[in-house]
Amino acid sequence: RKEVEQDPGPFNVPEGATVAFNCTYSNSASQSFFWYRQDCRKEPKLLMSVYSSGNEDGRFTAQLNRASQYISLLIRDSKLSDSATYLCVVNMEDTGGFKTIFGAGTRLFVKA
């Protein structure tokens, strides 16, 4: 089982739609969680951290369910500029220290 799994996508949505990304992680000792955004042929960049109480940043809402080992990202009122790949990220302790594991990403296409 992969350490971090995401919806395979791609998601094709019209402008203004609400879209949800889901992610599960296998290591219950995982410490912190993030969503990254990656544009085509670019490096991933932090979109937002995910806190246990849930957090919101404008049109973006992230939630964490530690009991179910589940993370979500909700984008409201999608814009054309939201088209990108969204990566679920988990930091976890390991015998060698700690490591940052990325999900395979879900590609989003927002159409006019």
Partner 1 sequence: SQTIHQWPATLVQPVGSPLSLECTVEGTSNPNLYWYRQAAGRGLQLLFYSVGIGQISSEVPQNLSASRPQDRQFILSSKKLLLSDSGFYLCAWSGYIRAEAFFGQGTRLTVV
Positions in the binding site for partner 1 (CB under 8 A): 31-32, 34, 41-46, 49, 87, 89, 91, 93-105
Question: Which value, to the nearest 10 degrees, does the dihedral of the CA atoms of residues 10, 28, 66, 52 take?
Answer: -90
Minimum gap (Å) between residue 60 Cβ and partner 1? 15
Alpha carbons 22 and 52: distance in angstroms, whole number = 15
For partner 1, the closer of residues 49 and 76 by Cβ is 49
For partner 1, the closer of residues 58 and 97 by Cβ is 97
Minimum gap (Å) between residue 97 Cβ and partner 1? 3
* Joined tokens for residue 61: 């809402």
For partner 1, the closer of residues 41 and 68 by Cβ is 41
Token pair 């989003």: residue: 108
